[in-house]
Amino acid sequence: MPAWLQSKIKCFYCGRASKYNKNDQIRSFQCASCEGTNYLDKVGTPCMTMKLGIC
């Protein structure tokens, strides 16, 4: 698998790759496939919502 594909952030809920890159350092995005709102930790890993205090 190409390295650029591996660096794409996957949706926490459906597992689909988003258009966002881990290097973008975004903290949240809405999945285009399932419309779930993803929250990311500081290294770009999808995690549970901030409301749960897990991020």
* Residues 55/39, Cβ–Cβ less than 8 Å: yes
Listed ranges 2-10, 25-33, 40-48: which one lies at the site for Zn ion (CB under 5 A): 25-33
Asked if 30 is part of the footprint of Zn ion (rule: CB under 5 A), the reply reads no
Distance (Å, whole) CA 51 – CA 2: 34
Distance of alpha carbon 32 from alpha carbon 42, whole angstroms? 22
Q: How far is the CB of 53 from Zn ion (least distance, A)?
A: 22
Q: Is 11 in the site for Zn ion (CB under 5 A)?
A: yes
Query: For binding to Zn ion (CB under 5 A), which residues are involved?
Result: 11, 13-14, 31, 33-34, 36
